[in-house]
Structure 1
Amino acid sequence: MPLLDESDINSEIENLPEWNYIEKTITKDYSFDTYLSGIDFVNKLALIAEENNHHPDLSIGWCKVSVTFTSHDQGGVTDDCIKMAKLSEALFIKK
């Protein structure tokens, strides 16, 4: 899958609230009411990532989960990263 250029990435994430393009990644910090709500989100996102064979870098904190997508093989952001960001948003909205 080819890398997206910065203008394409910014155009895609413009419609994804609070997603940012930083150093060849797209990233967002999600906030939750409880620690376990964040863990539940991570577990569900892990299943979606496994189904799509595109896995995020995750950082779990107290009532906060940071999600970062990049293509390690390609060395930057691809359409798969954008797709997974959209799926992350859908999962978060559904919670």
Structure 2
Amino acid sequence: MRPELLDEDAIKRGLGTLSENWVVEGRELVREFRFPSYMAGIEFVRRIAVLAEAMNHHPDLLVGWRKVKVRLSTHSAGGLTALDFDLAGQVTAAASA
């Protein structure tokens, strides 16, 4: 079964549950995380990968020098669903682990 696409009100409510650094860009939920070293960012990506596999919900990740940009969207639904906000919360927690 395909996840239900969220309407604008639900997206605003979802953003309210996340840290202020998450933003909506088009049909994606986006945040850039910064780290003290390149390897700290790579370790963060590894933690995200474990979470994503457990949910079978995989973000797009852009790894740079001491930063990682996370882009979430439910491709099968064509936009944002509750899965994206759930994973965003877990990703935020993983950043401080």
Q: What is the match of residue 90 of structure 1? A: 93
Identity of aligned residues (%): 35
TM-score when normalising by structure 2? 0.93
Aligned length: 94
1:75 partnered with 2:78: yes
Q: What is the match of residue 18 of structure 2? A: 16
Q: What is the match of residue 50 of structure 2? A: 47
Gaps of 5+ in 1: none
> Whole-Å Cα distance in 1 between the matches of residues 66 and 17 of structure 2?
24
Gaps of 5+ in 2: none
Question: Which of 63, 66, 91 is matched with 1:63 structurally?
Answer: 66
> Whole-Å Cα distance in 1 between the matches of residues 92 and 47 of structure 2?
12
Aligned CA-pair RMSD: 0.8
Q: What is the match of residue 30 of structure 1? A: 33
Moved over 6 A (4+): none
Q: Out of 11-20 and 76-85, give the one that drifted further.
A: 11-20
Structure 1 residue 14: Cα displacement:
2.1
